[in-house]
Amino acid sequence: MQEIKIHCKKCKKSMGLTYNAVGKPLAPVLPNITLKCHTCKKVSTLKKYTEQMLLERMDNEYRVFI
């Protein structure tokens, strides 16, 4: 499928994390994982993110801002 790159919503820098889409829209994505931006130190916890939510928020360069 697609490789989705995860970026910081605040500073727009890459978090160095990618997610490969499986094709199951209701599959949970990295449940209860905490991500920290190395540039601006923003912390995000992925609790109820599904693959469908990532695909809807993805831009034309396969980036998602969290």
Q: Where are the domains of the chain?
A: 3-65
Whole-number Cα distances in Å, 2 to 13, 17, 26: 20, 14, 16
Q: 14 or 1, which is more confident?
A: 14
User: With pLDDT > 70 as the criterion, what percentage of the chain qualifies?
Assistant: 98
Using the predicted structure, report yes or no on whether residue 10 has a pLDDT greater than 90: yes
Question: What residue type is 55 in one-letter code?
Answer: L
Using the predicted structure, report yes or no on whether residue 42 has a pLDDT greater than 90: yes
pLDDT score for 2: 86
Q: What is the pTM of this model?
A: 0.87
Whole-number Cα distances in Å, 58 to 10, 41, 66: 16, 22, 10
Q: Please state, rounded to an integer, the average pLDDT across all residues of the chain.
A: 93
